[in-house]
Each structure stands twice: as C-alpha cells, then as structure tokens.
C-alpha cells in the first residue's frame, strides 16, 4: 500500500510503498478514506516527544481517520467488513497517512451517520481530548464557568460545544477574525487576545483548558477560583503523566522538574494543575458520535487536501493560521484546498 513516512526526526514526508497491514487478535483493518492533521503530528515529526514516546523509523504519522472495515482479526467481534468507522489509533499504533491501518477494535467507533468521511476524520483526537478534559477529568457541571484557550483551533472548536452541552458558561480567547466563528459555536464571552488581557477581564472560573504556551498557562491561574482546575494539553507534563506512560526513573524526575513551577504556583492559589495527553477510547468516541448525530457537536473544517498533497496539509497546520481542522481525503471528490472554515 501507499503511505507517507518519515525516515528520521525533522525529516520530510515521503510517499512510499509499505507492507499491507494484517489484523492481529482483536484488531481490524480499515481502508482509510480520510485522515486529519494535528499539531501532535508536527511535534512527533520534529522529535519533541522522543524521550517519552519513542518511535521506530520509518514512521507513518497520522492520529485521526475515518474509513471502512475491510478485514477482521481473530477474536474481533465488534465490527464487520463494510462498517463505516472513525478512530484515533492508540499512541503506539498511529499511521493514518496511509491507505490502510490495522487498529484495535476497542479504539474504533461507528462513524456518525450524519457526517461524511472527511468531517468524521476531523473529530477523534480533538473530541476525545475535549471529552477527557471536561467530562472525565474536570467533571464540568451546569452553571460552572469554563475558559477554553484558542477557541478557533481543533480542540477549541469542539471543547466550546461540549462545555455548552454540559451546561457551562464558556469564555474563549481568539483573534478578531475568529470571533464570529466561536460565537456561532456557543461561546458566551470572547476575548480578542491581541487587544485584551484575559487575566484582567475574567475571574472566578472553575476550569481552564490550555493549549498555548507557558506565559498563557501561568496567567490562567489568576482567573481560577480556589478549587478550580487548570488542565493543559500543551505541557508541561507532570508526574501523573509519567506514571501513566510507565516512564523510567530518569524521565519521571525530568517531568517532575519541568512541571515543578506551575504545580507549585497552582498549589499556592488552591488550584489543581494537570497535564492531559489524550488516549484512544472507542467507547467514548461512540458517545461523541451520539452527540454529533443529536446536533450537539459539529465539526469545523479549515481545508481539505487530497492524499497526494499530505505534505502541504502538514505545512498548513504548521502555519499556525488554522481554524478547525485540516483534513486529508482519498475520496475522488476531494478538491484542492479551499478558503475558509466550514461547519
């Protein structure tokens, strides 16, 4: 089959012929119709996580997919050939920039019936991130106040909608050209980060979901009330994450040091800090599919690229000017990039 691979960290994507995947016990093979690009793909390509998430080269990137089941391995019973599915493969089994993938059936869910393949492929990683942050970890309740940074990004667009579904009042930070977009998703308070200081405008928040840099992370402490939760998907990783990945002693101590300052400052303010690295979870994804079909969550697509243009799709994400998600499609109807996000 054809796949885009890197041969070394910081290397260019190359289109190669690679071996067709075979389903192992509890696995299925999915013919990938669409995939999407996440900042995580860029970070892995550049080796930012190689100390804690080492991969063998050559490596096929890609953390989101939608497609059709074409083969079922021994003991796999949840899906059959012909099922339309979507998934975020487990961190050890990524590889969606390819024609096919072997994936644990526990990572899969049936594709939302109301979405096409490109729309479905845009959701798994960002929707699971939002779910695990707001539902699983923060346990957001009606009437609470939630600040979601970078509300026009992949995670942000879904997190705003999920927080509103949970009954929260939602604030977000964006640039001026994304204000209308995030308001259409349900944001109650919108801060233009280029003109306004969110830390001076907001207070008494229960939860902050951060995907930006250390300055924004630290400033977010000021908007939280005692007992609030600061959840970051951009780091720094904390000791709990080290335990989750089974890190060795050296890595555990490194992560403890990296997160020491923010954990200390959070404790002084009576706030809980935690780092979230989302995990694959087909059951949660099935619940998200239900919310999509019920109209509570809708994907936001920045641009759709043809499979042959996968390197350009990564460049688009690397530009930092993406609203929603960048998608790669093998559908014959896939067109060259079009301007503007679509809902």
pLDDT digits (tens, 9 = 90+) for 4-16: 999 999 999 999 9
Q: Which pLDDT score is estimated for 51?
A: 76
DSSP string, 221-251: GGGEEEEEEEEESSS---HHHHHHTT--HHH
Q: How many residues in total does the chain contain?
A: 343
DSSP-assigned letter for residue 8: S
Tell the burial category of 120 from Cβ atoms under 10 Å away from its Cβ (0-12, 13-18, 19+).
buried
Cα(255)–Cα(247) distance, integer angstroms:
10
pLDDT 10s digits, 76-122: 999 999 999 999 999 888 999 999 999 999 999 999 999 999 999 99
Alpha carbon distance 35, 79 (integer Å): 20
Query: What DSSP state is assigned to residue 58?
Result: S
> For residue 270, what are its two tokens?
């009576």
Residue 215 has pLDDT above 80, yes or no: yes
What is the rounded CA–CA span in Å between residue 154 and residue 322?
8
pLDDT tens per residue, range 43-73? 999 998 887 778 899 999 999 999 999 999 9
Tokens found for residue 262: 């923010």
Following DSSP, what letter does each residue of 43-55 receive, concatenated?
Answer: HHHTTTTTTTS--
Q: What is the structure's pLDDT at 206?
A: 98
* 3-class state of residue 154 by DSSP: helix
What are the structural domains, with CATH classification, of the chain?
2-123+299-329 (3.90.180.10), 125-275 (3.40.50.720)
């Amino acid at each position: 089959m054809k796949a885009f691979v890197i041969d070394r960290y910081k290397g260019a994507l190359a289109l190669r012929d690679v071996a067709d995947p075979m389903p192992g016990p509890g696995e299925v093979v999915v013919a990938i119709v669409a995939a999407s690009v996440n900042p995580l793909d860029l970070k892995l390509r550049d080796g930012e996580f190689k100390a804690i998430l080492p991969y063998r080269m050559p490596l096929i990137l890609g953390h989101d997919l939608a497609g059709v089941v074409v083969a079922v391995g021994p003991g796999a019973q949840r899906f059959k050939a012909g099922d339309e599915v979507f998934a975020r493969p487990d961190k050890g089994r990524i590889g969606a920039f390819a024609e096919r993938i072997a994936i644990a059936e526990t990572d899969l869910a049936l594709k939302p019936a109301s979405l096409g393949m490109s729309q479905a492929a845009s959701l798994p990683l960002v929707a699971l991130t939002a779910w695990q942050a707001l539902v699983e970890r923060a346990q957001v309740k009606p009437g609470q106040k939630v600040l979601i940074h970078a509300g026009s990004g992949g995670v942000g667009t879904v997190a705003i909608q999920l927080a509103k579904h949970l009954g929260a009042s939602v604030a977000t930070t964006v640039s001026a050209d994304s204000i209308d977009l995030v308001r259409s998703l349900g944001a109650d308070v919108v801060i233009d980060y280029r003109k306004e200081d969110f830390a001076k405008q907001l207070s008494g928040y229960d939860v902050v979901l951060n995907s930006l840099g250390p300055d924004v992370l630290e400033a977010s402490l000021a908007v939280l009330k005692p007992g609030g939760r600061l959840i970051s998907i951009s780091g720094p990783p904390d000791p709990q994450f080290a335990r989750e990945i089974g890190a060795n002693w050296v890595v555990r101590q490194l992560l403890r040091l990296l997160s020491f300052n923010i954990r200390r400052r959070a404790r002084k303010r009576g706030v809980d800090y935690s780092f979230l690295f989302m995990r694959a979870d087909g059951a949660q994804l099935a619940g998200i599919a239900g919310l999509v079909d019920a109209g509570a969550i809708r994907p936001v697509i920045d641009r759709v690229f043809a499979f042959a243009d996968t390197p350009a799709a990564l460049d688009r994400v690397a530009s930092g000017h993406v609203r929603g998600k960048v998608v790669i499609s093998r559908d014959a109807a896939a067109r060259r990039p079009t301007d503007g996000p679509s809902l």
